[in-house]
Chain A
Amino acid sequence: MAVRSIITEQMQSIAAQQNKSLARLSDDLVLLDCGLDSLCFAILVARLEDELGFDPFSTDDDVYFPTTFGDFVAFYERAA
């Protein structure tokens, strides 16, 4: 499955479990406004690591945090 659809699916499932309402995921959606809090993102990164086998945050030496959903997907796609 494409990285993008895995990310989308996981964000939807975490939002449902954590009772958050998730904004429509478009590339220019700012992550801070997507409806998930930092705990949700921590869970997302852990699940993606389990599913994809890597965690670009811990392999990336630069302190980088994607700001939009599009950046986030691209960040994972680059590391894949």
Chain B
Amino acid sequence: MNAPLRAGCLRSRIAAVGGEDRWLWGRDRSVPLISIFGETRLGARRDDLAGKSILIRTRDQLCAALVLIELDGAAKRLIIAPPDLDDAHLASVMEDGAADVIVGDLPPPPGLGVEFVPLGAPQPRTRSNFAPRRSEWVMFTSGTTGRPKMVVHSLDGLAGAIAPGDPDDPDDPPIWGTFYDIRRYGGLQMLLRALLGGGSMVLSSPEESATDFLTRLGARGVTHLSATPSHWRRALMSPAIQAVKPRYIRLSGEIADQAVLDSLKAAFPGTPVGHAYASTEAGVGFEVNDGLEGFPADFMGREDGDVRMKVVDGSLRLRSSRTASAYVGGGDALADADGFVDTGDMVEQRGMRFYFTGRRSGVINVGGLKIHPEEVEAVINRHPGVRMSLVKGRKSPITGAIVVAEVVANGEESETVKAEILDLCRAVLPPFKTPTAIRFVEALAVTPGGKLERRLA
């Protein structure tokens, strides 16, 4: 099973894995995977696209998946536009990415002067007239404002963390579902797991509530379900969570604290819950499957696997064949002199384990003392009356900032709960890290990438 995963274009790898009755299910339409072998949705234009650099810009995820499957191995470069790519950035993206043409179901705004190849109805596929090549896969980094930044990956690197024959049981192939969008790194990982692991996938839609998506996941019989901790906290608030009976639960994209891991274990007794560490730049780092937050300290010195890790100035650096090779259009170096990518994720060793404390860029500075909002949220989230929380800085003329918290209650919003949360914080955090005020809110905003929205103070 090893060889087919590591060689050939995406379509031939899917073929090599085999399997029957495999589907990509969207909200409004679905495509049987078998159809990708005999059909094209690009018509006669398909051969013209060989060797081109292509911006894939689509309204829905299914369409993006189909273009990726059709054009990997033909295109020089596949640039995957995230769903929230602003029209105002299209020109700079085309320029930075040296894109020749846009392919998808979203015509570019008139006046941009870019060639557009729409995805049409499926037609029988004729033999291709081009030599297969290794296409570059270009993804957008998350969390930047202004001119979008992109990194270059390859299918080999993207699929590098996927064990051959990942689906445990060939008689019961996995049905993947994810709250992620497959046009971002985390979601693309799940799509590739489904495609290369002999499975099917249920694709999410932004027009759908968490409850509707959970209901649809349940109806399709999802077996492998992946989401960010923020997505999971919201899903756990929905009665429709009972509709799904996954046999594997995965978290990534944000710090998985003990509270969310424990809530998932309680909601799905006996189901393995794993959390993974990955970033668009650094690729998939590792998976943690012992049900505990953080990761074992011996991961750090490990020399046997594909990934090398080190900590420099408190932040985690990774080197592996899965890291992106470069930023598109040059600019900053992606990796340090030794090939390590600085993730900007801060870690702290306590005993035999490392814990994520937060993003370097998200630090709150209280009179010169640094606080990662995530470490305070992890404490607040331990309270059973808390579903999720957001800690942020409030400007202060005295100390520059003070720590405040917004909390989504899991049940009653009372002064008693507030007081208990503060007691919990005071018991384990120094005073400057303890929230100076707690406010109950109905909901907390989650970014299109599934992460808690943090507006820096």
Which chain B residues lie closer than 8 Å to A42 at the CB level? 366-367, 396, 398-399, 402, 436
Which chain A residues lie closer than 8 Å to B402 at the CB level? 39, 42-43, 46
User: Is the CB–CB distance between B437 and A46 below 8 Å?
Assistant: yes
Which chain B residues lie closer than 8 Å to A47 at the CB level? 437
Shortest Cβ distance from B402 into A: residue: A42
Which chain A residues lie closer than 8 Å to B395 at the CB level? 58
| Chain A interfacial residues counted at CB < 8 A | 14
Which chain A residues lie closer than 8 Å to B436 at the CB level? 42-43, 46
Mark contacts of B278-306 with chain A using CB atoms, 8 A cut-off: 1 yes-contact digit, 0 otherwise. 00000000000000000000000000000
User: Is the CB–CB distance between A57 and B366 below 8 Å?
Assistant: no
Shortest Cβ distance from A63 into B: residue: B397
In the complex, A71 has a CB within 8 A of chain B: no
Interchain CB contact (< 8 A) of B394 among A18, A39, A46, A57? A46
| Chain B at the A interface: SS class | mixed
| Interface set, chain A 26-80, CB cutoff 8 A to B | 38-39, 41-43, 45-47, 50, 55, 57-58
Which chain B residues lie closer than 8 Å to A55 at the CB level? 397
Shortest Cβ distance from B366 into A: residue: A39
**Distance in Å: Cβ of B324 to nearest Cβ of chain A:** 41
Shortest Cβ distance from A17 into B: residue: B422
**Distance in Å: Cβ of A65 to nearest Cβ of chain B:** 9
User: Is the CB–CB distance between B399 and A38 below 8 Å?
Assistant: yes
Which chain B residues lie closer than 8 Å to A45 at the CB level? 396-398
Mark contacts of B361-404 with chain A using CB atoms, 8 A cut-off: 1 yes-contact digit, 0 otherwise. 00000110000000000000000000000000011111100100
User: Is the CB–CB distance between B432 and A39 below 8 Å?
Assistant: yes
| Chain A at the B interface: SS class | helix
In the assembled complex, the Cα of A19 lies from the Cα of B211 at a distance in Å of 45
Shortest Cβ distance from B419 into A: residue: A17
Which chain A residues lie closer than 8 Å to B432 at the CB level? 39
User: Is the CB–CB distance between A39 and B367 below 8 Å?
Assistant: yes
**Distance in Å: Cβ of B430 to nearest Cβ of chain A:** 10
**Distance in Å: Cβ of B380 to nearest Cβ of chain A:** 17
**Distance in Å: Cβ of B446 to nearest Cβ of chain A:** 27
**Distance in Å: Cβ of A10 to nearest Cβ of chain B:** 12
Max chain B Cβ within 10 angstroms of own Cβ: one of A39, A47, A57:
A39
User: Is the CB–CB distance between A58 and B431 below 8 Å?
Assistant: no
In the assembled complex, the Cα of A47 lies from the Cα of B399 at a distance in Å of 14
In the assembled complex, the Cα of A10 lies from the Cα of B397 at a distance in Å of 17
Which chain B residues lie closer than 8 Å to A58 at the CB level? 395, 397
Which chain A residues lie closer than 8 Å to B396 at the CB level? 42, 45-46
**Distance in Å: Cβ of B434 to nearest Cβ of chain A:** 9
In the assembled complex, the Cα of A42 lies from the Cα of B394 at a distance in Å of 10
Interchain CB contact (< 8 A) of B397 among A17, A43, A50, A57? A57
Shortest Cβ distance from B396 into A: residue: A42
Shortest Cβ distance from A44 into B: residue: B398
User: Is the CB–CB distance between B398 and A38 below 8 Å?
Assistant: yes
Which chain B residues lie closer than 8 Å to A41 at the CB level? 398-399
| Interface set, chain B 393-427, CB cutoff 8 A to A | 394-399, 402, 422
| Interface set, chain B 325-377, CB cutoff 8 A to A | 366-367
In the assembled complex, the Cα of A43 lies from the Cα of B367 at a distance in Å of 12
Mark contacts of A9-32 with chain B using CB atoms, 8 A cut-off: 1 yes-contact digit, 0 otherwise. 000000001100000000000000
Max chain B Cβ within 10 angstroms of own Cβ: one of A42, A46, A58:
A42
**Distance in Å: Cβ of B211 to nearest Cβ of chain A:** 35
Shortest Cβ distance from A59 into B: residue: B397
Which chain A residues lie closer than 8 Å to B366 at the CB level? 39, 42
In the assembled complex, the Cα of A57 lies from the Cα of B398 at a distance in Å of 9
In the assembled complex, the Cα of A50 lies from the Cα of B398 at a distance in Å of 16
Which chain A residues lie closer than 8 Å to B399 at the CB level? 38-39, 41-42
Interchain CB contact (< 8 A) of A18 among B398, B431, B437? B431
Which chain A residues lie closer than 8 Å to B394 at the CB level? 46
**Distance in Å: Cβ of A58 to nearest Cβ of chain B:** 5
Write the residues of chain B forming the contact surface with A, with a CB cutoff of 8 angstroms: 366-367, 394-399, 402, 422, 431-432, 436-437
Write the residues of chain A forming the contact surface with B, with a CB cutoff of 8 angstroms: 17-18, 38-39, 41-43, 45-47, 50, 55, 57-58
Closest 4 CB pairs between A and B?
Answer: A57-B397, A42-B398, A42-B399, A42-B396
A57-B397, A58-B395 known, 20 other contacts, Cβ within 8 Å: A17-B422, A38-B398, A39-B366, A39-B367, A39-B399, A39-B402, A41-B398, A41-B399, A42-B367, A42-B396, A42-B398, A43-B402, A43-B436, A45-B396, A45-B397, A46-B394, A46-B402, A50-B437, A57-B398, A58-B397
Instruction: Provide a sorted-by-A list of 17 A–B residue pairs whose CB atoms are within 8 angstroms.
Output: A38-B398, A39-B399, A39-B402, A39-B431, A39-B432, A41-B398, A42-B366, A42-B367, A42-B396, A42-B398, A42-B399, A42-B436, A43-B436, A45-B397, A45-B398, A46-B436, A46-B437
